[in-house]
């Protein structure tokens, strides 16, 4: 999955596959997580958020099934 760099002190890049509704998040620590069943609107809001890290914490983390790669 192709990821796009974001401005965040914790998150390095974000990728999204609308066909499978999978959101991929790469942290600056080089850890990568895949979140499943994420609506396109959540991905869009994450990219547009004033604070990507805060939006992730409040709207994605612990809310969707996740896989650590």
User: Residue 1: what pLDDT?
Assistant: 83
User: Residue 11: what pLDDT?
Assistant: 97
Q: Work out how many domains the chain is built from and give that number.
A: 1
User: Residue 67: what pLDDT?
Assistant: 97
User: Residue 58: what pLDDT?
Assistant: 96
Which of the residues in the chain have pLDDT under 50? none
How distant, in Å, are the alpha carbons of 30, 33, 45, 51 from that of 69?
Answer: 10, 6, 24, 24
Domain that holds residue 48: 3-68
pTM over 0.75: yes
Instruction: Give the helix/strand (H/E) hosting 2.
Output: none
By C-alpha distance, which of 5, 10, 40 is closest to 23? 40
């Amino acid at each position: 999955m192709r990821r796009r760099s974001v401005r965040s002190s914790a998150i390095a890049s974000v990728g999204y596959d609308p066909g499978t509704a999978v959101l991929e998040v790469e942290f600056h620590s080089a850890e990568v997580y895949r979140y499943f069943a994420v609506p396109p609107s959540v991905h869009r809001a994450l990219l547009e958020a004033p604070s990507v890290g805060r939006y992730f914490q409040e709207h994605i983390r612990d809310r969707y099934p996740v896989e650590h790669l």
